[in-house]
Amino acid sequence: MEKLIIKQAGDNHLEEIKDIVKEAFDRPGKNEHFNEWEFVDKVRNDSGFIPELCLIAAVDKEIIGYIMLSKALIGKNGGLSLGPLAVKPSYQRKGIGKRLINYGMKKAKEKGFEWIVLTGGDYYTQFGFESASKYDVVLSNNHPENSFLKIKFLDSNREVSGKMRFCDSFYNENGELL
């Protein structure tokens, strides 16, 4: 593989990003009411969007991966949420996602953020993400996604607890998590 470059995504990359996210998430049995590629556009127009933490991975000028970190709250403590993370299927299982996550965490720490949350499986434990319930961090009482909520503290001396809230784009018009 040619040299991988990770850099901030620009507005000129949006269509390619949407294509990558669509390819990575379009699968049988997916939620027909939620499209990750439309979600990307929605978050980019939200006050929780941080352009410097919207990153692409490219090889030979071809965009092959994408990650976005956006603002989130736990109680009144500001931090980040990670997602979506997408890699073109032909480049999956080659370490691209790992490099995007590690680079994103490095940039987040440089910007002074102390924690990152996400909803996801055990894949993320290799990056130091732990069950958020260990710290009494929840989306809301009895929310089905609580069991998938993970947190990573970028500053090992920092801990937060309480109700977690993603930026507004993560919720529908009734205030329910998409």
pLDDT at residue 169 tops 90: no
- Domains of the chain are 4-170 (3.40.630.30)
What stretch of H or E contains 145?
A: none
Tens of pLDDT along 110-158? 999 999 999 988 999 999 999 999 999 998 766 777 788 999 999 877 7
pLDDT at residue 165 tops 60: yes
What stretch of H or E contains 10?
A: none
Integer Cα distance of 62 and 16 in angstroms: 9
∠28-33-34 over CA atoms, to 5°? 80
Burial (CB count within 10 angstroms: exposed 0-12, middle 13-18, buried 19+), residue 126: exposed
- Express as a percent the part of the chain with pLDDT over 90: 61
pLDDT at residue 45 tops 90: no
Tens of pLDDT along 81-113? 999 999 999 999 999 999 999 999 999 999 999
Q: Quote the tokens at residue 1.
A: 């593989």
What stretch of H or E contains 174?
A: none
